[in-house]
């Protein structure tokens, strides 16, 4: 991964058909930073993340997104992954017939080769060692290596598997969409602690979408952004979340 990465979103506007969903989002994310995005249901948080990863169902109608000054919006999804972007889904998909271990190993090899054509692909046995070590930290059973992606995983297991992917793909910027939803209190602590450790170790930028103020017990963000109706309407530190807890989003959204 390039060591220093900077993502700049300027006045991004997005629609599906005639429905406008993002109405001018601006956000800058640099390596080493942790951002949290909060906001009402339907405010456009998942849309923003999907657009950054390149989901084809959205039409970008205005604004720009650059990664290290290159136009991200012109890149294919694999090119975005190779540029160091990772998305942990709010609702991870099941992929029957593909084992988690094979998927992750091939994805890691393809990112490594994109960065260095001479990189040696890692084989199944050494990769399983790496994967097991990370799974132990996340308290995941190693049997998941040979299970099909997300097939029959519980809600919390799916979320842990997104973190496992992030840990092993070593992205420059990871977007995690409600990574904490559906986790029990112990799992939240395990996942959040591991997230912080990986972020520090790899120096990546983390952007976490969450509805849960509890995550702030474990993660100390550089900035919290509040979305409403397709825009970022407030930014600040932890105090902003206390305001929301007391008065709801209405207390903060002055429009
Ligand atoms: N195909 C579509 N047609 C019309 N509207 C859509 C379509 N897909 C998404 N939307 C709308 O876009 C808005 C933003 O959705 P998005 O999933 O980004 O919200 P969110 O902030 O992630 O919400 P949540 O907190 O509930 O996950 C919603 O009102 C949603 O209904
Ligand atoms: Mg969402």
Instruction: Give per-residue pLDDT as tens, 135-183.
Output: 999 999 999 999 999 999 999 999 999 999 999 999 999 999 999 998 9
How many other β-carbons are positioned within 10 Å of the β-carbon of residue 137? 16
Residue 235 in any domain: the answer is yes
Confidence label for 247 from pLDDT (cuts 50, 70 and 90): confident
SS3 content of the chain, % helix, strand, coil (to 5): 40, 30, 30
Nearest to 171 by CA among 52, 60, 69: 52
Ligand 1, atom 27, residue with closest C-alpha:
41
State which residues form the domain around 122.
Answer: 6-251
CB 225 within 8 A of CB 232: yes
Ligand 1, atom 29, residue with closest C-alpha:
42
pLDDT for res 1: 52
pLDDT for res 3: 66
Six token digits for residue 156 = 């919390």
How many other β-carbons are positioned within 10 Å of the β-carbon of residue 104? 22
Q: Mean of the pLDDT values across residues 217-246?
A: 94
Percentage of the residues of the chain whose pLDDT score is greater than 70: 98
Question: What is the spatial distance between Cα 208 and Cα 216, in angstroms, rounded to a whole number?
Answer: 11
More confident residue, 84 or 117: 84
pLDDT for res 122: 94
CA quadruple 88, 93, 99, 104: dihedral, nearest 10? -20
Nearest to 53 by CA among 19, 102, 14, 20: 14
Q: Mean of the pLDDT values across residues 19-25?
A: 98
For the stretch 52-84, pLDDT in tens is: 999 999 999 999 999 999 999 999 999 999 999
pLDDT for res 191: 93
Ligand 1, atom 25, residue with closest C-alpha:
41
Nearest to 210 by CA among 12, 4, 43, 93: 43
Nearest ligand 1 atom, CA 48: 18
Residue 1 in any domain: the answer is no
Question: What is the spatial distance between Cα 236 and Cα 253, in angstroms, rounded to a whole number?
Answer: 13
CB 28 within 8 A of CB 9: yes
Ligand 1 within 6 A of CB of 44: yes
Residue 46 in any domain: the answer is yes
SS3 of residue 150 by DSSP: coil
- With left for phi above 0 and alpha for psi between -120 and 50, is residue 224 left, alpha or beta? beta
pLDDT for res 254: 64
Residue 242 in any domain: the answer is yes
Q: Which residues pair with 43 in a beta bridge?
A: none
Percentage of the residues of the chain whose pLDDT score is greater than 90: 88
Residue 70 in any domain: the answer is yes
Residue 41 in any domain: the answer is yes
Question: What is the spatial distance between Cα 137 and Cα 198, in angstroms, rounded to a whole number?
Answer: 11
Locate the DSSP E strands across 80-177: 85-88, 95-99, 148-149, 173-177
Number of domains in the chain: 1
Q: Mean of the pLDDT values across residues 83-104?
A: 95
| Ligand 1 centroid, distance to 47 Cα (angstroms) | 7
Ligand 1 within 6 A of CB of 50: no
Strand bridging mode 34-39 / 223-228 = parallel
Confidence label for 89 from pLDDT (cuts 50, 70 and 90): very high
Predicted confidence (pLDDT) at residue 2 exceeds the cutoff of 80: no
For the stretch 199-224, pLDDT in tens is: 999 999 999 999 999 999 999 999 99
Residue 51 in any domain: the answer is yes
The CATH number of the domain where 243 resides is what? 3.40.50.300
| Ligand 2 centroid, distance to 141 Cα (angstroms) | 28
Question: What is the spatial distance between Cα 150 and Cα 154, in angstroms, rounded to a whole number?
Answer: 8
């Amino acid at each position: 991964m390039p060591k220093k990465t900077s993502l700049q979103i300027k006045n991004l506007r997005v629609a599906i058909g005639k429905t406008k969903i993002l109405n001018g989002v601006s956000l800058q994310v640099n390596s080493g930073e942790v951002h949290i995005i909060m906001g009402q249901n339907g405010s456009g948080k998942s849309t923003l993340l999907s657009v950054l990863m390149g989901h084809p169902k959205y039409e970008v109608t205005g604004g720009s997104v650059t990664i290290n000054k290159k136009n991200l919006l012109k890149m294919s999804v694999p090119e975005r992954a190779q540029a160091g972007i990772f998305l942990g889904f709010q609702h991870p998909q099941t992929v029957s017939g593909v084992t988690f271990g094979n998927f992750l190993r091939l994805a890691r090899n393809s990112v490594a080769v994109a960065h260095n054509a001479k990189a040696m692909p890692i084989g199944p046995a050494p990769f399983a060692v790496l994967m097991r070590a990370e799974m132990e930290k996340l308290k995941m059973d190693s049997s998941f290596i040979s299970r099909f992606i997300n097939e029959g995983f519980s809600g919390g297991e799916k979320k842990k598997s997104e973190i496992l992917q992030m840990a092993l793909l070593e992205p420059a910027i990871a977007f995690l969409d409600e990574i904490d939803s559906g986790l029990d209190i112990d799992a939240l602590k395990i996942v959040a602690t591991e997230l912080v450790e990986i972020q520090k170790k790899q120096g990546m930028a983390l952007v976490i979408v969450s509805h849960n103020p509890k995550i702030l017990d474990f993660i100390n963000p550089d900035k919290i952004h509040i979305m409403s109706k397709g825009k970022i309407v407030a930014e600040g530190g932890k105090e902003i979340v206390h305001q929301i807890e007391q008065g709801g989003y209405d207390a903060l959204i002055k429009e």
